[in-house]
Amino acid sequence: MEYYTWILTFHVMAFMSWMAMLFYLPRLFVYHVEHKEKKEFVEVVKIQEYKIYKYIGAPAMWATIASGALMLFLNPDIFRSGVWMYAKLIVMIFLVVYSFSLEKYRKELENDNYTKTGKFFRMYNEIPTMLSILIVGYVITKTFSFLFTIITIALFAFIGYMIMKPKKEVK
């Protein structure tokens, strides 16, 4: 337990780095898709997408998972502190799946396979924010609140709807 605080510090820093990629990569996808006719621009964005995922995002995700697993191994009593840790781990699984989905989209865009719109990626970019709010809420309060969870999901569903709804024509 002597090194637990250092492991926690590393875990938080790795999580922050992972979140930086999760917040920024979908924004790059928006630029990529919305400027696909500008070949030179797209080639630069492809390099940025590759580097942020491979050099920052994926290593930070694995560092977050490894340091989190090590903390759980060193302090298994945390599972007896309430449902919040289970909720955090479930949300973290969604975050990992989301991270892998970004790699799938990155590879599609790298091959000039444009199946999604800029509007889709704007909406998709909201998901890691929602998931990180849930994780931070559970960790800070050390509790699981069904109401907090439902309100957070509903808020982001509304934001997603507002992003995806067709814009009215101005006459």
**Residue ranges at the known binding site for heme:** 11, 88
Q: Measured in Å, how far apart are the chain's first and last C-alpha atoms?
A: 67
Residues making up the binding site:
11, 88
Query: What is the spatial distance between Cα 171 and Cα 162, in angstroms, rounded to a whole number?
Result: 21
> Counting Cβ atoms within 10 Å, is residue 89 exposed (0-12), middle (13-18) or buried (19+)?
middle
- Please report how many Cα atoms fall inside a 13 Å half-sphere around the Cα of residue 130, on the Cβ side: 20
Provide the 10 A C-beta neighbour count for residue 151. 11
Q: What share of the chain is helix, strand, coil (3-state, %, to 5)?
A: 80, 0, 20
